[in-house]
Structure 1
Amino acid sequence: MQIRPLTFALPLDSLLLGIATMLGALPRLVLLIALAAGPPLRPVQLLALLVLIAWPEPARVVRAEMLRVRVQPFIEAAWASGLGPGRIWWHHALPAACQPLRTLAPLSLAGLIRLETALAFLGIGQASNAVGWGTLLATVRQDPSAWWVALAPGVALLATLLALQKVAASK
């Protein structure tokens, strides 16, 4: 009698989709404020926090595109030619499924810049001496009649966000 090891099937697709749905159900700014509250974060920690909040949307897009790509004729041709599943996945399916990310990436980056600026404006998550558009915009709170102080960072932020949207639209 042969003893087989006890194994468990992990529904990775369902698990990741459930986590992505759960993270997507919460407003990003509220989640970011809750996670960034406390001692000031280093830039690497803030970046990791932004990535943690931003991954569900691209993951859903790539998953949906992979479901579409896997039944395409070029994938069937790769199977018929005798290529292994790993090679088909890495060299054929995944590059085709990641094409929508060329458009989504600039829009996601614009959203992350807006979130980081909002955090800096509120004074949450970063050191008080950190320089950024949000902290520069927040200096207007000290003297609301000096509106011109916020003009340069506001215009720079607006130009960056509009440029990223233009890049996304041109893809």
Structure 2
Amino acid sequence: MSSAKNQVTSDTAQDTLARKSEAANLISGGRLVAKALKAEGVDTIFTLCGGHIIDIYDGCIDEGIRIVDVRHEQVAAHAADAYARQTGRLGCVVTTAGPGCTNAMTGIATAFRSESPVLHIGGQGALNQHKMGSLQDLPHVDMMSPITKFAAGVRSTERIADMISMAARE
């Protein structure tokens, strides 16, 4: 009996190590976002911490992108606008899904009307739960389209870099 138990423990440990080894070769969508932001010259993001965007923060730390955490998403959007106006560089606001995106709308609209180069990245829930009442699931792209030059959802991690590149060039 004890030898069977030891075998199970050993197999479980081997499985865990194998999974960790495979996972070490993968990169999260959030880290891809940070790499794409760095490639576009972004050195600072303005944000309010939220669950849908945590991996982006990890990537920003890895890429040396400064994270300015504020108290409200509207402040983050206005700060990104002010940063863009003062530096002439791309301002970047990162918000969580749902109320994070809706709270940023006034600042995004201000940047749009002022023609400030501001990129808004809004988190989203799991795609397999879209339009099923998942946490903070709202039609973000539809809401942002009238107040941005480019609004799109990213349906696969493979598209993250080119979507950020397209948005930054609008």
**TM-score > 0.5 by shorter chain:** no
Q: Larger strand proportion, structure 1 or 2?
A: 2
Which has the bigger relative contact order, CA under 8 A and spacing at least 6?
1
Larger-Rg structure: 1
- Which structure dedicates a bigger proportion of its chain to helix? 1
